[in-house]
Structure 1
Amino acid sequence: MDGETWSEPVQTHKNDRIDWLNIEYANEMFLISGENQTGHYISYSKDGANWSEPVTDSGNGRMVFGNNLWIICDCYCIYVWNRDFTHKEQVEPSYDNARVDYYDVAFGNGRFVLVSSCANDRDVFTSTDGLNWKRLFTEISCQCITFDGKQFVAGGGGGRIWTSTDGENWTEHRALPSNFLPSKIKYGNGNYIIMGTLKCIYTL
């Protein structure tokens, strides 16, 4: 429990060769998402050692918990699960039949904020219930997003960092090298950790 002494590697599911790509902790449980040649999966655990059977058709991307819901990104849709994983809805927030890559999602100030890419457009979606989404045609181009307790912080191309309290009105900050493209951002203990290209990790 000290971050220095680790157990031996444990195979989560002995008969399933799944590449687990993302992990989140909320609602007193761990949630992982991933994929193999047959589909996209999630699995959840209370202790990190004993895992549920993989649930298929559930998304393989970033996830977040809020308003008693789990939101899980997938390539061209999102999945909305209740807190106990007994019911799900599949949602495509774009509303225009375009194929959208949903990159990342965060929850804060009572709403979900989703960053995505649709062709050459860079769209942001907001929702309070996970089912009905408001599409915002913005100028921000972001691949990752987090919430720090007060505001949303998103990272995008050109070394840009964007901030917003409501997911709709954004302020641009050029905080990183222009050739750095963030892939993941997290906040904790007063610091932002940003991973991306250039084989770099930045702290802000």
Structure 2
Amino acid sequence: MKFKNLLFISTSLLIFGACSSDDLQIDVPDTDTEQPEGEDPEEEQVPGNNAPEAFNLITLDNGAADIDLNPLLTWSSATDPDGDELTYKLLLDITASPETILAEDITATEFSITEGLERNKVYYWKVVANDGNGGKTESTEIFSFSTKGYTFSETALTANAEFSKRRNHSITEFNGKLWMIGGQNDNSNYKDVWSSVDGKTWKLVAEDPFGFGGKNNHTAIVFKNKFWIIGGGFSDIWSSTNGIDWVRNDLSGPFGSREGHSTLVYDNKLWVIGGTKVTEQMNDVWYSEDGITWTEAASSTQFSPRTDHTTVVFNDKMYLMGGTTIQDFSPLFYNDIYTSTDGINWTEVATESVFEIRANHTSLVYDNKMWVIGGWQAVTNQETMEQDVVSFADVWYSDNGTQWNKLSGSDSYTGRLGHASTVFENKILISGGLNIDQDDNLRSHYNDVWVIE
């Protein structure tokens, strides 16, 4: 929740000049005596009643930093001279004199905040002891604390997972587990399925559920209580109710062979957007209400044909980001962002700060923000006329699509493309991918798992 600024409500008398003595008379309302939000009406103290004795806040320590979003606040027990039973009221917000009531009628001397705090915010808090007879005493001080920001793990959750090193695979949460499917390296195409309950330990659950050919550069998504796999060099569509047993719903989807496309769920429909069809980059949009029957929403849209882009649903809109296409036999990369509410009409976002041009990145929504992770670019060096290749290790996030912030990374995390990422147990997990080291002429695949939280 975002804490509101509390303003005292006042009533202003509006006096209208009369045009004639026959004008309609306007009744002036009585003065508003309603108490401002967050304040108690004045309680008349019982004659002879004594207010509670002074008491102190204990934890969190005043000025504490890098605090989790669900902290426990504690204070000392107040003593009442009259022996009255005391309750406590906790006030917390982002102003130095907190007025927002977070909880009241507390009988214990602690309170655990279970939701609502924002990252990178300074919060102020105090406690009021109430004896029920009009006697009140505030804590001797107002304390503050600041919540933590996002952190990229310094070491991998696992540096060598049970599945082999690969790129262009998928990792998806389904039925409370993580599922890793397919992918490729420079020597093999994979069609295996692995599952994990924690992202650290993985178990092979199906070796060859998709028949002929590998399953890479596909999309994986949950839609209407089923797990769906779409395309990946082929035009087939598969679904599963358990992640292990798979049914082919369509041998040749109406959008044809597709890889490097994106898939999302929006408006209770499953959408397939762009990608490569055989050798041609597309900017078409398709949707289905059941995953079986598909309708073409647009054969060509406002964004240019592309592949290896990403799409997410954010603030009730579809967002498309980045990608690449082949132009004059060379890759052309993008960092443009488009939005749509119908899949037909797409509007480019006027970004003020944004990530560099890239493709084969991943995108997701986490903590009410859009995230773009890694990817690569190849840009022609105007001096040598050769392609300068970069594998990105960066992470970007935005709460509006216009302004993007770069997260401080981990020194031991290596740039990569064709990796997989997902949100699991309120964390971002990143796994696998390919690093291209142009200077040393090396291509390195990974099977590690990293965490952002």
Name the TM-score, length of structure 2 as normaliser. 0.38
Aligned 1:12-27 pairs, distance under 5 A: 12-13=210-211, 17-21=212-216, 22-27=219-224
Deviations 1:116-156 (A, max 9, x none): 23424322222222222122365423521001251111113
Give the partner amino acid of 2:268.
Answer: N
* Match 1:146 to one of 364, 385, 389: 364
Show the counterpart of 1:191: 427
C-alpha distance in structure 2 between counterparts of 1:62 and 1:120, whole Å: 16
Residues 28 and 149 (structure 1), Cα distance of their counterparts in 2 relative to 1, 3 Å cut:
farther
Q: Highest CA radius of gyration, 1 or 2? A: 2
Q: Which consecutive unaligned segments of at least 5 residues does structure 2 have?
A: 1-174, 178-195, 197-201, 277-281, 325-331, 376-391, 436-445
C-alpha distance in structure 1 between counterparts of 2:210 and 2:333, whole Å: 38
- The alpha-carbon deviation at position 72 of structure 1 amounts to 2.2
* Match 1:40 to one of 235, 239, 242: 235
Q: Which consecutive unaligned segments of at least 5 residues does structure 1 have?
A: none
Q: Matched residue of 1:167: which SS?
A: coil
Aligned 1:1-204 pairs, distance under 5 A: 3=196, 7-9=205-207, 11-13=209-211, 17-21=212-216, 22-36=219-233, 39-48=234-243, 49-51=245-247, 52-56=249-253, 57=255, 59-60=258-259, 61-73=261-273, 74-75=275-276, 76-85=282-291, 86-89=293-296, 90-95=298-303, 98-118=304-324, 119-136=332-349, 138=351, 139-141=354-356, 142=358, 143-156=361-374, 158-177=392-411, 180-182=415-417, 183-195=419-431, 196-198=433-435, 199=446, 200-204=448-452
- Tell me if the contact between 1:152 and 1:164 (Cα under 8 Å) persists in the aligned partners: yes
**How many residues are treated as equivalent by the alignment?**
197
Deviations 1:26-51 (A, max 9, x none): 32111102344xx4332234444251
C-alpha distance in structure 2 between counterparts of 1:166 and 1:54, whole Å: 39
Residues 54 and 46 (structure 1), Cα distance of their counterparts in 2 relative to 1, 3 Å cut:
farther
Residues 6 and 102 (structure 1), Cα distance of their counterparts in 2 relative to 1, 3 Å cut:
closer
Residues 105 and 78 (structure 1), Cα distance of their counterparts in 2 relative to 1, 3 Å cut:
farther
